[in-house]
Amino acid sequence: MDIATLVGILLGLVAIVGSIFLMTPDFAMFGSASSFGIVFGGMLASVAVAFPLKDVLQLGAAMGAVFKGNNDSLGGLVDEAVEASEVGRKGIGDLENHIGNIKSFFFKDGVQMVVDGMSLDEMSEILNTRIDYRELREKTQAGLFKSMGTMAPAWGMVGTLIGLVVMLSGFGEGGTDSLGAGMSAALITTLYGAIFANLFFLPMAEKINARISFSSTVQSLQVEAVRLIQQKKHPIIVREKLNSFIPPKEWKKEEG
């Protein structure tokens, strides 16, 4: 679980609810099923038009990915690669037996390519292609959330226009009930659209983009590690080269 995401959403909701409470104890006036339906339903409809159905159906999985924590330490990944390089210098048989100890599937697959005797160029091409297409898949998720964040305020404006029509029609009929209902719908749909966009979907898009960058750094590090293992480089060289991918505070020197 990504605690930062959960804390951020809860903090935003507390700020909104707390501000409303300071203004009025009547929370019921901010609840409107029709306004919610206009904004949320319209937003989903627009996304369904803009994206392939298979991407829209994976919206729940994409949201789950936003809340999924990432405990990978770049320093720990360097340690894992150095350990594999030490084993690899002993022989292919030892390296093959060591594969079961590797936690990262991507790195494990790369080391298996070394064991299978693939050339340096073949391994690099395959692994870098996997990175490229993972980025494309994840950027589709980020684009989905960004579009939802863009469309939510637009549908809030649609609700505002509907509310204004209802309100103005009340002038002609001489009634006051429709005036209040129309003005309420006009303002609440705008509020809902702004909240959906700025508290949920646009931040989620940014979160996924940040994770794409981190994952690409991790996998680029592991591609370089596989290349160094295939070349049977000394563990000290492996560590120093891989340290280039990580913040200096996470650097570790070869012991002994």
Identify which has the larger pLDDT, 40 or 185.
Answer: 40
- Is the predicted pLDDT of residue 225 greater than 90, yes or no? yes
Q: Write the pLDDT tens digit of every residue in 161-180.
A: 888 887 777 665 555 555 66
CA dist., res. 63 & res. 65, Å (int): 5
- Is the predicted pLDDT of residue 256 greater than 50, yes or no? no
pTM: 0.82
State the alpha helices, DSSP H only, in the chain.
Answer: 3-23, 33-36, 42-50, 53-56, 59-67, 74-88, 92-98, 105-115, 120-173, 177-195, 202-230, 235-242
In this predicted structure, what is the pLDDT of residue 182? Answer: 63
How confident is the model over 87-113, as a mean pLDDT?
92
Q: Are 189 and 156 in contact (CB under 8 A)?
A: yes
117: alpha, beta or left? (left if phi > 0; alpha if psi -120 to 50) = left
Q: How far is CA 59 from CA 66, 138, 212, 250, in A?
A: 11, 12, 17, 35
Which one, of 122, 77, 125, lies nearest residue 102 by Cα?
77
145 token code pair: 């959330």
- Please provide the average confidence, as pLDDT, over all residues in the chain: 87
SS3 state of residue 70: coil
Identify which has the larger pLDDT, 212 or 28.
Answer: 212
Q: Write the pLDDT tens digit of every residue in 28-87.
A: 778 888 889 999 999 999 999 999 988 888 888 888 878 886 766 788 899 999 999 999
Q: Write the pLDDT tens digit of every residue in 104-138.
A: 899 999 999 999 999 999 999 999 999 999 999 88
